[in-house]
A = this chain, B = another copy of it.
Amino acid sequence: MRAAVFRQGDLFVDELAEPVPGNGLVLVRTLACGICGSDLHARDHARKMEGVSKFVPWRKPLDPTRDFVMGHEFACEVLDYGPGASKRFRIGTHVVSVPWIIRDGAVQGIGFSNDNTGGYAERMLLTENNLLEVPNGLPADHAALTEPLAVGIHAVEKARIAGDEVPLVIGCGPIGLAIIATLRAKNLHPIVAADFSPKRRELALLMGADVVVDPAVSSPYTTWQEYAAYSPEETKRRAPLLGMPRPLMPALIFECVGVPGVINQIFEGAPRNARIIVVGVCMENDLAKPMLGVLKELTVQYVFGFTKDEFASGLRMLAEGEVNAGELVTGKVGLDGISGAFTDLANPERHTKILVEPWR
């Protein structure tokens, strides 16, 4: 079968051996697979991951010097079952799955693995128990957004919202937008969102942000403070004396950028007692001023991935039309087009999510 192989730092379309489903596994045809920011990160920083992997012993490290096939945001069609499968879905059913697989009694990743082919390939193997049927009427190219949406759902779940927070979303790429959609579904308003790109701010509003800020024009934190202020009477009640910090509703800041320096910018801008949920995956070393964290009593909560339940919630939100998927998918390419799409994704005005359709 054809696949886009990551080999020595670049992508090559190549012919790979046909995958054969083992025990409990399902052979599927990839209908659509999103290109994730972490794929771009991995291309540029795969070697940096090696320095980190010894501290996360439960994850089999990716060896970037050996071939692997990316793609962890996929919607597929059931083609065939391996031995021991219950054949829950008839052949031809459209399915999605969390991007991990159970092989020989062990959990293994899909998409950043030297062993398991991801969605940048015509066909791949999934674990039957992980499959969710795509509800009737939801096109595969929208169902492929389940995974990035689940990342946003997980971030919001981990934030354990009490109900009185005023959220601020820094960065409105696919994950920031997923978080906005999830916050809207949870009815937490006003949602303040910031991005340098006019197109991304437009999408943020479409997904449910109440106010958007261009950080080149004004400070997201100043705008946030306007929306998080108490009434003059309540402010006076909570801080009767001069020299007391200005009381503000609790800040819940989502970091969805993932480049060095952003967390420190948030440290500088954040109000006292802010909770910062870091969803952006920064693969490089990062410098911060812990003193600011101390004086402001900030909390930084790093989140990653999602549970199977959160993944199922993502599919449900898409199926129920709670996310305007059509607006997020800005391009489609075949396997030959992935390399170009990696470049095109650098322009946030033109692209939000590009899908790979390996059958093209």
Binding site for B on A (CB under 8 A): 48-49, 51-52, 55-56, 58-60, 102, 104-108, 158, 241-246, 263, 267-269, 272, 278, 281-283, 285-304
Contacts and interface: CB of A to CB of B under 8 A. Distances in A.
A241 B101 CA distance: 11
A297 B291 contact: no
Given A52-B292, A55-B268, A56-B296, 9 more contacts: A55-B292, A58-B244, A102-B241, A104-B242, A286-B289, A288-B288, A293-B302, A294-B303, A294-B304
A286 B58 CA distance: 27
A102 B263 CA distance: 34
B304 A295 contact: yes
B294 A241 contact: no
A297 B302 contact: yes
Contacts of A296: 55-56, 302, 304
A244 B57 CA distance: 10
A242 B300 contact: no
11 contacts: A52-B289, A56-B292, A58-B246, A59-B295, A106-B242, A107-B241, A278-B293, A281-B290, A285-B288, A297-B304, A298-B301
Q: Which 8 A-B pairs have the closest CB atoms?
A: A106-B242, A293-B302, A107-B243, A58-B245, A106-B243, A282-B290, A300-B300, A299-B301
B302 A158 contact: no
A291 B49 contact: yes
Contact of A289 (B58, B267, B285, B291): B285
A278 B295 CA distance: 11
B244 A107 contact: yes
Given A243-B107, A300-B300, A283 B278 contact: no
Contacts of A297: 158, 301-304
Contacts of A52: 289, 291-292, 295
B288 A294 contact: no
A278 B290 contact: yes
A237 B80 CA distance: 31
Contact of A282 (B107, B281, B282, B291): B291
Nearest to A103: B243
A304 B298 CA distance: 10
A104 B290 CA distance: 32
Contacts of A278: 290, 293-294
A263 B290 contact: yes
A303 B273 CA distance: 9
A296 B57 CA distance: 11
Nearest to A267: B55
A327 to B, nearest CB: 28
A283 B108 CA distance: 42
A356 B83 CA distance: 78
Contact of A108 (B51, B243, B289): B243
Contacts of A263: 290
A39 B70 CA distance: 53
A77 to B, nearest CB: 27
Nearest to A293: B302
Contacts of A303: 294, 297
